[in-house]
Structure 1
Amino acid sequence: MADKKGDTTDTTDTVVVRPRRVVWMSGALALLLLTVFVTVALLLRSQDTGVIFMVSDQIAMIGVGVMLAGAAMLFATPRVRADRDGVYVRNIGVSRRFTWDEVLSVSFPDGASFARLELPDYEYYSMMAIQAVDREHAVQAVRALRRLHAANRG
């Protein structure tokens, strides 16, 4: 199953999932932050406020905007890649690989924001790439992971 946007790929032995809506929202937020900080930086020296702003202050303001825009784009980085050997989950800032023998099930509890891998001892690991706001895309991703889990669990 390859959906029309290309952000879920399911072949017989590999599943790759990326979030959809959060990518658009992160991009819009990053663009808005960058626009606001560049505009403020350009207007710093055009008005007499009693404070002396230098070119370095303008550059610093733009730099802050770039850093905040980059931080907003971090929300677009989650990904899940599963194959016969296990599942690799990349969330924001952390990544982890599980073998299928470590995973009890793939679940998406009612009211949860993200799907998760159920692990032994009542632990779980959230998969931020599979989000409730993606609706049908998330359902297809969970089903594909469950099929792969069932087929490859030792």
Structure 2
Amino acid sequence: MGQGDTPEWDLEVRPHRAVFTARIVAAVIAIAFLAGGIWLRTGSTGVNFRVADQLAMIGIGLLIAAAVLLLTRPRVRVGPSGVSVRNILGDSDFPWNTVLGVTFPDKKAWARLELVNDDYVPMLAIRSNDKERAAQAMDKLRELGARYTAEQE
């Protein structure tokens, strides 16, 4: 799939609990660093803090919060042309002729896409802590995979 292609997706999966948790953690971090930055100069610790130090503290908190929000990016999309997996830092597209199946290995936090040549790609969007949603996503992904693989043969 190249740029400009707009394939129709039959399934799109995103994590739910991880997104909720990441948003709360990012907000707490941002608020804590904001409060710390504001009150940095009010104590008498013997250290002389300046406005630049306050701004730096707030900026660092916002950067950490933004990094935590990267955990909300994972997504898996399935369509006639294949499977598109977006994890934290990038998208990868896999045509059906390279996909062998999907598995959820024992004691792992997320599913993985099994590929030819004994390769695999973790799918952070399908997480074990989503329980029933994850099971439904796996069932639907397997169903679509079987259908599209059969159509291509």
Does TM, normalized by the shorter one, top 0.5? yes
| Deviation at residue 106 of structure 1 after TM alignment | 1.3
Size of the alignment, in residue pairs?
143
User: Structure 1 residue aligned with 2:83, among 84, 87, 94?
Assistant: 87
| Cα distance in structure 1, aligned partners of 2:67 and 2:9 | 33
Match of 1:7 in 2: none
- Provide closer, same or farther for how the CA distance between residues 41 and 113 of structure 1 changes in structure 2, counting only shifts above 3 A: same
Match of 2:33 in 1: 37
User: Structure 2 residue aligned with 1:15, among 11, 14, 31?
Assistant: 11
Query: Which amino acid in 1 is paired with 2:134?
Result: A
Counterparts of residues 115-130 of structure 1 (less than 5 Å)? 115-130=111-126
Unaligned runs of 5+ in 1: 1-11
1:71 and 2:73 matched: no
The answer to whether the 8 A contact 1:13-1:148 is kept is: no
The answer to whether the 8 A contact 1:34-1:65 is kept is: yes
Unaligned runs of 5+ in 2: 1-7
Per-residue CA deviations over 1:92-141 (Å, capped at 9, x if unaligned) read 11220001111011111221211111111221111000000100000010
| Cα distance in structure 2, aligned partners of 1:39 and 1:133 | 32
Q: % of aligned pairs identical?
A: 42
Task: Please report the RMSD computed on the Cα atoms of aligned residues, expressed in angstroms.
Answer: 1.3
- With normalisation by structure 2, the TM-score equals 0.90
- With normalisation by structure 1, the TM-score equals 0.89
